[in-house]
Structure 1
Amino acid sequence: MSDRILLSQAQVTEVEERYVLDALRSGWVAPLGPHVDAFEAEIADRVGVAGALALSSGTAALHLALLELGAGPGKVVVLPTMTFAATANAVLYTGAEPVFVDSQRQDGNVDPHLLIEAVDTLRTEGRDIAAVITVDLFGRCCDYASIEPALAEREIPLLEDAAEALGASLQGRAAGSFGRVAALSFNGNKIMTTSGGGMLLSDHNDLLERCRYLSTQARQPVAWYEHTEVGYNYRLSNVLAALGRGQLSRLDEMIDRRRQIRERYASGLAHLPVTFLGRGGAQRGDDDDNCWLTTLTVEDGPDADAVVGALSRQRIEVRHLWKPMHLQPVFDRARTFTTGVSDDLFRRGITLPSGPALSDDQIDRVISTLVSLISDQGQ
């Protein structure tokens, strides 16, 4: 039986082993330590922001950022419907109300015009908007040239959820540098990993320091444990930060391999009725994407359910695109501004195996399986 082909397995080498061994031998095995400090500095330098705060998850980063942007009961937060649940869950953690906005078809990212329409409609209704969250979907930056100035004009803070996009850029600016504050994820399947972890990025050091304080149980700077407000246990461990530093040193190499995989898919599937999200658009190609996951829609042939099921039987892990939040039972009463685009992307879209450790032979096996499936069902 052939080996199972995984979607986005972490690739760990001797480089990461050396970093982790250094952390273990140093005795800094609890949260915080010299590797955490160095990891924050290196990520901030890579993205080009003033500072960074290493945390236990990307969800923790979103939660703290929203608190500092003023999200809470009686407030609304506007965000894309096409995203992982963590983005929306973090809004609920604060007591604010999520309002979902649909996608643009070419790449699945939030529709910038519909986003601003939603903001203006909510403002007209007298709603208090604490923040707008964007999500750089599958490693591609949103249309910040349209979104940032429109929100600045309306004095609404922007939180960039760049969990999937480290290493991507737009017009010379790195993912993670947009808005007032940005969140990264280093979960096991991301472009680089700390096993579990995340980070806040900002040019506003006061915001980062406030979040740093909250992330360590809001402990007061006195000789005993003194707490004047509720905090959170959200800091990253020194050992995991060491793993992250090793991964970061190879980030460009891993992005290059994912790009090679995307090109192989594009070439091998070119004759099929499929559309690669974000690729070959009239205004933007995918040269600035980090190619975290290669995603496509099947225009004529089996739907996503059929593709996922058929490839799973061949021991190939493919997945649907994110199920839109407005279709999730937990958010079935949420306010939405939808056009039907995200529903259609979910029905027809899949993500393909894209991890940097995959071989060309494995990618060719995915391609041949897809060709057989789509060609047979398209006849």
Structure 2
Amino acid sequence: MPTTRQLARLVTIAALLAHSSANAQSSEFTLDDSGDWEQTQAPEPGSDAAIMAEATRLIAEDKPGKASDMLGDWLDKNKRSRNTYIPQAYYLHALARYNNGREYKALFDLESIIVDYPGSEYFLKAVELEYQIGLEYIRGKKRRFLGMRIENARPTGEELIIRTQERVPGSELAEEAAMNLADHFYQRRELKLAAEMYSIFRQNFPNSPRVQRAMLREIEANIARFKGPRYDGSGLLDAKLLIEEYQRKFPADAIRSGITEGLMSWIDESAAQQILDTARWYLKVNDEPSARFVLARLVRRHPATDAADEALGIMIEKGWIVFDDVSLTESDDPDSSPSNTETTQPEGVEP
């Protein structure tokens, strides 16, 4: 059974054969009176069209080495000319090298098409093949060094996928490249890069059906970046804002899954613990006014957290919260009533 890569190669070669035949006016066949195919047209032997057709045939027959040698010789003679077959030759040369396990060298041919022939019909094909090479590199394929695949090619792969987005912006290929790169960073736990890439995806493809998934992944990446109360908590703020945006854009999913509610509670508790850790540091250095201020802010901003309960305990122990005694009876104040009796407010915590 053919592998996914083999099937992809077959599709690429089939399309290439069809295009090469039409463009180069190579072999054409018609049905004769007996119902057999009869060749009616073929490229002139030795012509550029014949060389392209022969190279295509060799690639299709899984003889990329011979095709690469033939096209390399042709390019050496013609690459500085204005020959109209140059973009096709570069692409066929790149495809032959790729199929021969020399994908890094194929990149030089592909870059020649992309940089020097952006208006060519082979431009998109070159970008697609570069993207395919980039995917293989970020998924673990090594570059050759001294005849062995031992050199890390991941940075090269990441760069190729970024270039794909730059060269065909707004396209389905760019959308796929953006999501694959974001997922790559997420799987490697490069969470800051992952969050940035998911954000870029949402900005560049706001109408994509994958926006919801990108937003959830961005939230998760920002939350996972938080290492504890003693570290930078900016990712928590970003995640909180994103959760609020997610609830506005996808209210039904947010309610049904309950994921945003759970994440919001975790974020609230984590932010409160970070403030509590700051207050403890002030207490450690005997800066009680600052500690009192920070603890009061914690209780005010995150009242439903365990950290707020602990903060209240510290403030009561320090005597920073005092409850006023306003237990007047009706005999003491004949005008008193439930409607005008003031609620007791602990001092030290702003309402």
TM-score by length of 2: 0.22
- If you compute each CA radius of gyration, which structure gives the higher value, 1 or 2? 2
Q: Is the strand fraction higher in 1 or 2?
A: 1
Q: Which has the higher contact order (CA 8 A, sep 6+)?
A: 1
TM-score by length of 1: 0.21
